């Protein structure tokens, strides 16, 4: 079998489980998610895995090893952003299934159990939270998240229960770390490094830390034609100065990313001065200290800009995830497999977050990146080649053979 071509065929097929015609939109606990799980169930069946849906809505494919042997966890998320690509997340479900199918076809019996996990919700697009499936296995889910609602006011707990999960008993699926060998995630790189290195795969060293802040500037509205320019308390002008300062300051640190991804103003009419601006400030960095320092600087800068114009300023952190180092042992095993299949192994940090970020609270984690055309992701233009995915399947298979309990 050409494992890369089969991966491409499978990802084209499952991309049809989408609310959108342009790109992939597959949100958790929806009809599209159910349709995708039917396809994933077929992949798992072909790999000889027994399937079940766990309380957090994760589709679990399991192959038992010798009695008492530990379990290696693999997988990624089935959900996407709106109008996203057909590789982000779901590639990390397809490729482990193919690697296990390949090993079975070669008669390889692994000395440990294996589970492939198709997590329901990593992106946090439908509900304002993320990583519910991986956090459930790590035992770190805050039960309050099940009361969060989507745009239609549907509670995440109700959506999960209606889908076949069991929000009230999610705590029961937390894994015992003693029985887990580790978690291996395969993911499209979503960046330009492997293309620049002209390599099909790379091995991840660490996953960035991330925090999200809700920021508000408060001024005074007034008639656009009668209020003189001097002395205006224009919230949007202050927010604009803040956003420019954020961009210029973040550019001083090559590893740090700061993004104002959403903004809303009030009263948002053509002939009135904005008196309120709400925006989100997301900060990411491989080092948590750099992220914290930048957030502290941003707060002082926002207060200074607001004070200069006599405006109010509020900055509240709404989400934080610490930076996660990958396991050196898993990293080195993956690097050896990458070296033997691609001739060279490049190590790189991940600027995107992943389910591995949450699984690191449970067990050692390792990640394989697959080359991403033009570094484009969270877009219909996202693309990984069949040949590169074929190399990734070989890397996974070699890593599985090399791992010992
Ligand atoms: O935002 C991220 O890094 C991930 O794609 N959820
Ligand atoms: Mn994503
Ligand atoms: Mn992803």
Instruction: Identify the nearest ligand to the CA of 76 by its number.
Output: 3
Distance 105 CA to ligand 1 centre (A): 35
What's the pLDDT tens digit per position in 73-119? 999 999 999 999 999 999 999 999 999 999 999 999 999 999 999 99
What's the pLDDT tens digit per position in 197-231? 999 999 999 999 999 999 999 999 999 999 999 99
Distance 356 CA to ligand 3 centre (A): 10
Among the atoms of ligand 1, which is closest to the Cα of residue 130? 6
Whether 389 is in the pocket of ligand 1, judged by its Cβ within 6 Å, is: no
Residues 307 and 336 in one domain: no
Instruction: Identify the nearest ligand to the CA of 210 by its number.
Output: 1
Instruction: Identify the nearest ligand to the CA of 350 by its number.
Output: 1
Split at pLDDT 50, 70, 90, the class of 404 is: confident
Instruction: Identify the nearest ligand to the CA of 92 by its number.
Output: 3
Q: Which of 321, 351, 372 is the last residue of a domain?
A: 321
Residues 336 and 311 in one domain: no
Pocket test for ligand 1, best of 133, 188, 257, 352 (most atoms within 8 A of CB): 352
Burial (CB < 10 A; 0-12, 13-18, 19+), residue 382, is: buried
Nearest to 370 by CA among 359, 386, 354: 386
Distance 190 CA to ligand 1 centre (A): 10
Residues 220 and 74 in one domain: no
Do residues 260 and 241 lie in contact, with contact meaning Cβ atoms separated by under 8 Å? no
CA–CA dist 343, 95 (Å, integer): 20
Residues 143 and 8 in one domain: yes
Residues 280 and 342 in one domain: no
Burial (CB < 10 A; 0-12, 13-18, 19+), residue 37, is: buried
Whether 213 is in the pocket of ligand 1, judged by its Cβ within 6 Å, is: no
Q: What is the DSSP string of 368-394?
A: EEE--GGG--SSTT----HHHHHHHHH
Residues 96 and 201 in one domain: yes
Distance 350 CA to ligand 1 centre (A): 10
Residues 240 and 253 in one domain: yes
Residues 242 and 169 in one domain: no
- H or E element in which residue 160 lies: helix 156-163
DSSP-assigned beta bridge partners for residue 341? none
pLDDT at 300: 98
Which residue range forms the structural domain that includes residue 173? 3-207+323-402
User: In Å, how far are 5, 157, 234, 257, 288 from 124, measured between CA atoms?
Assistant: 30, 14, 33, 19, 22
Split at pLDDT 50, 70, 90, the class of 319 is: confident
Total residues found in the chain within this entry: 405
What's the pLDDT tens digit per position in 225-255? 999 999 999 999 999 999 999 999 999 998 8
What's the pLDDT tens digit per position in 12-54? 999 999 999 999 999 999 999 999 999 999 999 999 999 999 9
Torsion of CA 228, 231, 236, 242, to 10 degrees: 140
Residues 315 and 268 in one domain: yes
Split at pLDDT 50, 70, 90, the class of 307 is: very high
Residues 71 and 187 in one domain: yes
Average pLDDT over every residue of 145-165 = 97
Split at pLDDT 50, 70, 90, the class of 284 is: very high
CATH number at residue 57: 3.40.630.10
Residues 85 and 194 in one domain: yes
The domain total for the chain is 2
Distance 79 CA to ligand 2 centre (A): 8
Measured by CA distance, the residue closest to atom 6 of ligand 1 is 123
Distance 77 CA to ligand 3 centre (A): 7
Whether 206 is in the pocket of ligand 1, judged by its Cβ within 6 Å, is: no
Residues 126 and 250 in one domain: no
Whether 79 is in the pocket of ligand 1, judged by its Cβ within 6 Å, is: no
Q: Which of 273, 293, 321 is the last residue of a domain?
A: 321
Q: Which of 321, 349, 374 is the last residue of a domain?
A: 321
Residues 6+ apart with CB under 8 A from 64: 50, 113
pLDDT at 297: 98
DSSP-assigned beta bridge partners for residue 59? 53, 118
Q: Is the pTM for the entire model greater than 0.85?
A: yes
Q: What stretches of 37-179 adopt beta strand conformation (E)? A: 50-53, 59-63, 71-77, 113-119
């Amino acid at each position: 079998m050409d494992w890369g071509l089969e991966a491409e065929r499978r990802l084209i097929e499952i991309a049809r489980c989408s609310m959108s015609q342009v790109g992939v939109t597959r949100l958790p606990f929806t009809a599209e998610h159910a349709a995708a799980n039917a396809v994933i169930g077929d992949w798992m069946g072909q790999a000889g895995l027994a399937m079940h849906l766990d309380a957090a809505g994760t589709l679990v494919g399991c192959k038992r090893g010798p009695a008492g042997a530990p379990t290696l966890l693999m997988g990624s998320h089935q959900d996407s952003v709106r109008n996203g690509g057909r590789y982000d997340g779901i590639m990390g479900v397809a490729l482990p299934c193919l690697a296990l199918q390949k090993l079975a076809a070669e008669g390889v019996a692994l000395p440990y159990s294996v589970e492939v996990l198709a997590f329901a919700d990593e992106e946090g697009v439908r509900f304002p939270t993320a990583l519910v499936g991986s956090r459930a296995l790590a035992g770190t889910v805050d039960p309050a998240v099940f009361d969060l609602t989507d745009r239609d006011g549907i509670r995440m707990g109700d959506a999960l229960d209606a889908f076949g999960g069991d929000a009230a008993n999610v705590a029961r699926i937390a894994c015992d770390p003693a029985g887990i060998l580790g978690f291996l995630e395969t993911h499209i790189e979503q960046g330009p490094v492997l293309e620049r290195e002209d390599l099909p795969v790379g091995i991840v060293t660490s996953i960035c830390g991330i925090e999200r802040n809700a920021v508000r500037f408060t001024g005074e509205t007034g008639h656009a034609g009668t209020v003189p320019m001097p002395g205006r308390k224009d919230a949007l002008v202050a927010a604009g100065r803040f956003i420019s300062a954020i961009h210029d300051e973040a550019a001083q640190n090559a590893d740090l990313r700061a993004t104002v991804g959403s903004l809303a103003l009030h009263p948002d009419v053509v002939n009135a001065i904005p008196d309120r601006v709400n925006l989100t400030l997301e900060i990411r960095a491989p080092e948590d200290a750099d992220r914290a320092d930048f957030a502290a600087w941003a707060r002082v800068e926002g207060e200074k800009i607001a004070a200069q114009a006599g405006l109010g300023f509020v900055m509240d952190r709404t989400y934080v995830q610490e930076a996660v180092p990958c396991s050196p042992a898993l990293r080195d095993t993956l690097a050896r497999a990458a070296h033997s299949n691609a001739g060279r192994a490049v190590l790189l940090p991940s600027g995107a977050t992943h389910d591995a970020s949450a699984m690191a609270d449970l067990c050692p984690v390792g990640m394989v990146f697959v080359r991403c055309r033009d570094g484009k992701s969270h877009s219909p233009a996202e693309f990984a080649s069949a040949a590169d995915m074929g190399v990734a399947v070989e890397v996974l298979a070699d890593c599985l053979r090399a791992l010992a309990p």
